[in-house]
Amino acid sequence: MEIVRRFLVLAPVALVVGAAVFLGSYVLAGSGDFGLLETGLALVVAFLAAAVVLAVVLVAVGVLRLAGVRSAWAALGLAFGLVVVVLGIIYAGIAMSMQPGDPGFNMSLLMTAAGVQIPTWLTFAVGLLIGDRRNRAARDAAVSPTA
């Protein structure tokens, strides 16, 4: 349960980071101005990316729990591997179905789906790293003798 709690705590942070990155990329792409519609779109895209990643991570936690592994890092790695395999299968299906005159719209959707997940994966990894360092520092402070 501790591992699930760690990821659930990081999910809102991943949502904010994903929305900020999406809005930042929109502004840098040259549009310049953004309003309520673009902000809402960024929140929806970031929410979907965070939800998909969180769902896959929770599935990985469950699978690893059945195997007796209790590691947040293992769950994150397995979830990332699962997403890469699924996106690879989708990529192969799209690449095989493309006609010579096809502009690749489906491919651009796939690339966008993969790209919007990057801030979420990085937020989860950095959050786990910070949590592990904080726990190690607290453990070392509790064990070290005070003179």
pLDDT score for 100: 64
**Residue 32 and residue 26: Cα distance in Å, rounded?**
8
pLDDT value, residue 127: 93
Summarised one tens digit per residue, pLDDT across range 85-99 is 998 888 888 777 766
Q: What is the mean pLDDT of residues 118-126?
A: 93
What pLDDT digit, counting tens, does each position of 2-48 carry? 889 999 999 999 988 988 888 777 777 766 566 777 778 778 888 88
What pLDDT shows up at residue 114? 85
Distance set, CA 86 to CA 71, 82, 91 (Å):
23, 6, 9
